[in-house]
Structure 1
Amino acid sequence: MARAVFYGAISLDGYLADKADRLDWLYQQEGGELVPYDTFYQTIDYTIMGRRTYDAVKRDAELEIIYPEKENFIFSHSAIEVDENMQVVNGDPVEFIEKLPSDKTVWVVGGGALLRPVIEAGLIDEWWIQIVPILIGEGVPLFLPQTNQQKFQLLETEQFGQFAQIHLKK
């Protein structure tokens, strides 16, 4: 099984995106360019995300190609059009991760619905969560209600402009 990690930013009230699945609030925040995303990105082999996350990143990140040079998988229960470097998967993300090679790292990009079964299965080995000092009121939460409790070790906290990053390990 591949090592699964999460890396992403949330609002102070715990949302990955606003109620319209927008990321504007994140991309307009001072200091985002200081977050060491490139260093993290070099450590991963695969990405997995849900369709809503793919749509939001594709629309708001203004990237021609999302996550080039990586193997990318989008979980969707319906047929969707995606970039040529993406593959659509209609299946269980836990089983998918468990079948990936053990010498590889998979970035579970988000969101809450895709993350929930992965978290419940205890598959996320490390977390890098950037907390942005903004309350957006409602939206797509990072954490949906869980059926079990999990404890993590806080490895470090860092500040990058207006972003506070926590690094956790299972």
Structure 2
Amino acid sequence: MRNVVFYGGISLDGYLADASHSLQWLFDADDGTPMNYDSFINTIDTTIMGRKTFEESLNYLEGDNPYPDKTNFVFSRRPQADKEGITFLSEDPVAFIKKLKEEEGKDIWVVGGGSLIKPLLEENLIDEWWIQFAPVLLGTGIRLFEEGNYRNYLELLEVKQFGNFAELHLKKKEQ
């Protein structure tokens, strides 16, 4: 069975993006120290993200498909036409990801955002977390962990420092 993983940077106070959905603060905090992204990206073959995360990623990555060598799914409440290498979905992400986990392949990367992650947390579907904490306090924005009906226990596997960033690697603890 495939794992569902989250890999991403957040502010020290827990925000994925600022109030305008921008990630520029994250790039501004980066001191250029290489992180483990290159080794991580080789462990996945599928990305899952919300529409706003997808649209914001286009501002920072080249082309119309931020991950052209992966199978990409974007969840959106408004119907959209698929693009080359990107399938837009308006169905229940929990049911979809449960089916996807059963298929052959590498891990599945939940890129974001918070409103997509919340129902996955409520079903305890995220198997591993790589969270990079940036030394930035935003005060407001889009939270990684929205309030919800969940209580997930995690096991800390590793803590690494990459320049200004601290990365926690955690996995789901089976209860």
Aligned twin of 2:111: 109
| Letter in structure 2 aligned against 1:52 | K
| Letter in structure 2 aligned against 1:130 | Q
Q: Kindly, what percent of the aligned residue pairs are identical?
A: 48
Which segments of 5 or more consecutive residues in structure 1 lack a partner in the other structure?
none
Is 1:136 the equivalent of 2:138? Answer: yes
**Greater mean alpha carbon deviation, residues 159-168 or residues 96-105:** 96-105
Q: CA deviation at 1:33?
A: 4.7
**Greater mean alpha carbon deviation, residues 90-99 or residues 125-134:** 90-99
Aligned twin of 2:26: 26
Which segments of 5 or more consecutive residues in structure 2 lack a partner in the other structure?
none
Aligned twin of 2:155: 153
Does the CA-based 8 Å contact 2:4-2:128 persist in structure 1?
yes
Runs of 4+ deviating beyond 4 Å: none
CA distance in 2: counterparts of 1:96 and 1:57, whole angstroms: 22
1:9-20 paired onto structure 2 within 5 Å: 9-20=9-20
| Letter in structure 2 aligned against 1:39 | S
Does the CA-based 8 Å contact 1:11-1:131 persist in structure 2?
yes
CA distance in 2: counterparts of 1:140 and 1:32, whole angstroms: 24
Q: CA deviation at 1:104?
A: 3.3
Structure 1 residues 92, 2: CA separation in 2 closer, same or farther (over 3 Å shift)?
farther
CA distance in 2: counterparts of 1:52 and 1:91, whole angstroms: 16
Does the CA-based 8 Å contact 1:43-1:105 persist in structure 2?
yes
Is 1:124 the equivalent of 2:126? Answer: yes
RMSD: 1.5
| Letter in structure 2 aligned against 1:118 | L
* Paired residues, number: 169
